[in-house]
Structure formats: structure tokens, C-alpha cells
A and B are shown apart, each in its own frame.
Chain A
């Protein structure tokens, strides 16, 4: 069974750049999978942030597209999210997940709470 684990800061100041990493217990190089970031502000619905394939191809949520970058490090079995110019509205639990075109997200990390506050 593949496990995913998010890591990164739990507290970040407004206007700073948030960097999160998802470590995967197995290879991230399989071409039929995509690797996704999803977030959930407290009391709100889940929001899909974007996904990346091992090829480097990405799809981002248009509402965040100008501020996000995703990347992969296949040698470390990791993929990452970079979110610039954060505000309090970016406070959320951030999840990484593995996806398939047909099934969507069949493996998720436990989530990491990120608070944006001065």
C-alpha cells in the first residue's frame, strides 16, 4: 500500500511563500498516475489546487494559477507545492493525493494544517 505524507511549515506570515512537500512511499514515476494537492479551509469544502504528472505536465485551478507551482523529484519520491503571496484565506489543511484518470484520488496523505498569520 502506498503511503503519502505532507511536510512543511505549520505557520507562515502573510505575503510569504508556502512550500509543501509530499513524500511517497513508492515510486512517483508511473506514468498512469498523477499527483495532486487539495486543501480544506476549516468548515469549508475541499478545494482542488492542481496536479502534476511525472512528465512535468500540470493542471492548476484557475483561481490559484497565478500563485502556484508544482514540481516533482522522482529520485526522492516526492512532489511539491509552492504558493506565493499567501493571505489568511490560504489557511487550510493541505492534502497531497495520488490520482488516476478514471478513479481520481485513491491514496491521500493525512493532511497538514497551515495557518497564515502575522
Chain B
């Protein structure tokens, strides 16, 4: 199975900060990577697919990048609604696998 490793596991930040989360795959996956946001008690929400394509309705302060085995999710200016857990997911090879999650918390 392809292992997905996110860093950091927890990120402390303030409103207005620029934050970047990294996701590394144990094998190359081209750009078959998605990013999701999950708030406590809520369903995950798709933010980015194919590594850099923004899902419809997602604010433009979110951006994804990378290819091969290293990827990033950046929030350009953190808003109160953005304090949540983010996780990456590869869909290059079965079984599809997820990162362990990065919690963005209030500093």
C-alpha cells in the first residue's frame, strides 16, 4: 500500500497567517492527490483534487501544489472557518490511502 505522511500533525496559527501543510507519498503518484477539510463532528469536504485543482465553491485562499511524491496545501490568509483538520488522499493505486491528518489550531 502507498503510505501517506503529513507534516506537521498539528499546526498553531492565527487568523491572517499563511500556512502550508505537506503530504508525502511512499511512491510516486503523479498528481492523483486530493485534499479534504474536516471540522469536528462534520463530514469531510473536498478542497483540492488532482493535486492543484480547486473544487468548485472553495475559496481561492486555498491552493494545492506538487507532483510525484511531495505535495502541499497552502492557505494564504487563514480565516476563522479554516481552523479544522486537513488530510490528503492518494488515488493513484489501490487501495486508496489517506494521510494521518493535520490539525490547524488557534495559536
Contact = CB atoms under 8 A, between A and B. Distances in A.
Nearest to A106: B46
A4 to B, nearest CB: 8
A102 B36 CA distance: 15
A47 B42 contact: no
B94 A103 contact: no
Binding site secondary structure of chain A: loop
Interface residues of B, number: 21
B7 to A, nearest CB: 14
Interface string B71-107: 0000000000000000101010011111111000000
Given A46-B87, A48-B98, A105 B46 contact: yes
Contact of A105 (B34, B42, B50): B34
Contacts of B45: 108
Nearest to A36: B96
A25 to B, nearest CB: 14
Contacts of A103: 34, 46, 49-50, 55
A92 to B, nearest CB: 13
